[in-house]
Amino acid sequence: MAIRQVTTSIGLHSREKEIEDVLDLLRRYSTDSTIGRADLLVKVRWLLDVWDVAMGRTGQIVAIGESFLHQITSSNSAQGQKEPFKVLYLCLSPLAYFIIGLEEFIDDAFRDAVTRCGMSCERIVHELLRLAGRLDMVEANVKFPSKVGALQNFLSIKRYHPAEHLCSTMLTVYDIRNQRGPHDVPTADELEAKFCVSSFPWIYARYLEILDLLDYDLSDNMDKFIGVCNSIVRVGTSLAKRAGHEGLLAREAIEILLYKNGFFLEERSLADVIAELGRMGYNYPKPTVANTLESLTKTFLSRRGRPGIFRYHQKIPPHEYYKTST
């Protein structure tokens, strides 16, 4: 496979096949003796450089990748650990679609960005099902909800406590890309894209936790990879604030950033909601948030308690709510 020089004038779309070819070589290296290590290292470094250009030359993804490659080339994997090339593949694989999604988000291709985030979730589910030995569930004829259900069952057996929340969030992101209807106007597309892009780092962080749970040694690289994801989102968020992009109303922020991301899976107080919105950079007057939460009890939230100590909880999981409302 010949790889092209890295330049800023060539977008990720035109490089997608080359990127996937490098990832495939990385995946197959531990079982395919025909793949040369030196050639593979050159291609992996090319891939990291391509992504670094897409991220504005921050140097983060290159630094992490080089740290990983240094560990690989300087020592053999310790007894009981998984093949280090496979670990690197597992960490990089879901990022391929996500970084292209960021590029599409920047170009205002919001529907495409949503689709890419859905594809990233699908890849995470497939990778984990393969590790679980459920190759039957990776087949193309198996519906995505069934795949996620099998994964949730596996993670529950492994006593991974965020399993339900993780699987619900991935289903929501995946389902958003299939929504169509009169509500599907450009502004709504942008809000959906913001939700999907901002949700992925949390999903990816849980994915890395699961790899660690399954004895794939990430050493100190887990936090670094999560940092890369957060950096990608920060780039996208800053670009989304340019002229022509819409801000979020309180109702939109609560729905898109909190409800769809599983925030109301547990009961939350008014103070909890205000604090979480503030942490994400959205600051609304307390009466506005209180009135908005009250209005949302007519749709997807429930409320119990009395004035001053009301607590809010989702009536229905997001992926189920949006199936019935579209």
**Cβ-proximal residues to 206 (8 Å cutoff; 6+ apart), any chain:** 162, 166
Rounded mean pLDDT, 3-32: 76
How would you list the strands of the sheet with 268-269, edge to edge? 268-269, 311-314, 301-304
**Residues 276, 263: contact at Cβ < 8 Å?**
yes
In this structure, what DSSP letter does residue 75 have?
S
- Least confident range of 178-187, 287-296, 302-311: 178-187
Exposed / middle / buried, residue 38 (Cβ in 10 Å: 0-12, 13-18, 19+): exposed
Residue-wise pLDDT for 171-203, tens only, equals 988 988 665 444 444 444 777 888 888 888 889
The structural domains of the chain, ordered by start, are: 12-240 (no CATH), 251-324 (1.10.10.10)
Identify residue 14 by its one-letter amino acid code. S
How much of the chain exceeds pLDDT 90, in percent?
32
Half-sphere exposure of 320 (CA within 13 A, CB side): 9
- What does the block give as tokens for 6? 């890295």
Q: Which carries the bigger pLDDT value, residue 308 or residue 101?
A: 101
Residues in the chain, overall count: 326
Average pLDDT of the chain, as a whole number: 80
Return phi, psi of residue 304, to 5°. -140, 160
Question: Directed axis angle between helix 12-28 and helix 95-106, to 10°?
Answer: 170
